[in-house]
């Protein structure tokens, strides 16, 4: 089972290393043909405006939308979260309108440009997640059908999932945090070889993955 990492720009190698740490092959995706044979895709952090341009330049939009619609798990981290949102504050066009949320880019302003904190993410178990935020977005609006996976102490939403699409504001791949990647790998294995009787993309129960 292979999981792709969009490798146009940004924190690519860190995701590939995190996948390797859990025994999964991470494949850099630069061209549509690189998506062949992968069972999930990670969209890394970086600069969403740059990714937007490169996705268009290399004709990746349609094939990645098709992969997501087929039910393969997609994990967007930071800029990756921005590019899976259906709505971006300020009216920028969405890139992959997969997740029914509105995101605000660079939501923490100058003072808190970058910071680290420990977060509770109940689906990953009791041990808190060490979350590194780097010029991070937050989720302003959560649509129906979107599960909130984590909030900051002030209640702002920083991790969500809608069926097979997960998005988080922070960078697990820079913190030695492997549980999000494990979750994606579990979903990808199920996508690659659906269990008997499983149906559609609704089939992943929250919890008990770890």
Annotated active-site positions, please?
Answer: 78, 171, 173
Can you tell me which of 5, 75, 79, 166 binds ligand GLN, judged by CB under 6 A?
Answer: 79
Phi, psi of 132 (to 5 degrees): -105, 120
Query: Are the C-beta atoms of residues 166 and 40 closer than 8 Å to each other?
Result: no
The tokens for 187 are 């979903």
Can you tell me which of 3, 78, 121, 165 binds ligand GLN, judged by CB under 6 A?
Answer: 78
Rule CB under 6 A: is residue 45 a binding residue for ligand GLN? Answer: yes
Rule CB under 6 A: is residue 84 a binding residue for ligand GLN? Answer: no
Q: Measure Cα distances from 13 to 10, 126, 130, 181 in Å.
A: 9, 28, 19, 14
CA-wise closest residue to 84 among 6, 14, 173, 26: 6
CA-wise closest residue to 81 among 129, 121, 30, 43: 43
Nearer to ligand GLN, 93 or 126 (CB): 93
State the minimum distance, in angstroms, from the CB of residue 105 to ligand GLN.
Answer: 4
Can you tell me which of 2, 61, 135, 203 binds ligand GLN, judged by CB under 6 A?
Answer: 135
Spatial distance between the Cα atoms of 2 and 37, rounded to a whole number of angstroms: 7
Q: Measure Cα distances from 171 to 12, 14, 153, 177 in Å.
A: 11, 10, 18, 9
Can you tell me which of 8, 82, 149, 174 binds ligand GLN, judged by CB under 6 A?
Answer: 82
Nearer to ligand GLN, 75 or 79 (CB): 79
Pairing of strands 41-43, 74-77: parallel
Rule CB under 6 A: is residue 134 a binding residue for ligand GLN? Answer: yes
Rule CB under 6 A: is residue 70 a binding residue for ligand GLN? Answer: no
Q: Hey, which residues between 141 and 200 contact ligand GLN (CB under 6 A)?
A: none
Query: Are the C-beta atoms of residues 126 and 207 closer than 8 Å to each other?
Result: no
State the minimum distance, in angstroms, from the CB of residue 92 to ligand GLN.
Answer: 10
Rule CB under 6 A: is residue 5 a binding residue for ligand GLN? Answer: no
Can you tell me which of 48, 164, 178, 201 binds ligand GLN, judged by CB under 6 A?
Answer: 48
Chain positions contacting ligand GLN, by CB under 6 A: 45-48, 78-79, 82, 105-106, 134-135
């Amino acid at each position: 089972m292979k999981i792709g990492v969009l490798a146009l720009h940004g924190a690519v190698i860190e995701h590939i290393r995190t996948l390797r740490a859990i025994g999964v092959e991470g494949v850099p995706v630069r061209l549509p043909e690189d998506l062949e044979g992968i069972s999930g895709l990670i969209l890394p952090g970086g600069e969403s405006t740059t990714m937007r341009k490169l996705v268009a330049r290399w004709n990746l939009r349609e094939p990645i939308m098709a992969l997501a619609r087929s039910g393969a798990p997609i994990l967007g981290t930071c800029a990756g979260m921005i590019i899976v949102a259906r709505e971006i504050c300020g009216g920028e066009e969405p890139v992959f309108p997969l997740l029914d949320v509105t995101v605000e880019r660079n939501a923490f302003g100058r003072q808190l440009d970058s910071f680290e904190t420990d977060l509770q993410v109940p689906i990953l178990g009791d041990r808190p997640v060490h979350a590194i935020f780097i010029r991070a977005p937050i989720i302003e609006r959560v649509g129906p059908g979107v599960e909130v996976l984590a909030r900051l102490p002030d209640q702002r939403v920083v991790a969500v999932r809608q069926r097979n699409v997960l998005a988080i504001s922070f960078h697990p791949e820079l913190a030695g945090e492997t549980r999000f990647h494990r979750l994606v790998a579990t979903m990808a294995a199920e996508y690659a070889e659906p269990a008997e009787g499983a149906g559609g993309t609704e089939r992943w129960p929250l919890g008990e993955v770890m």
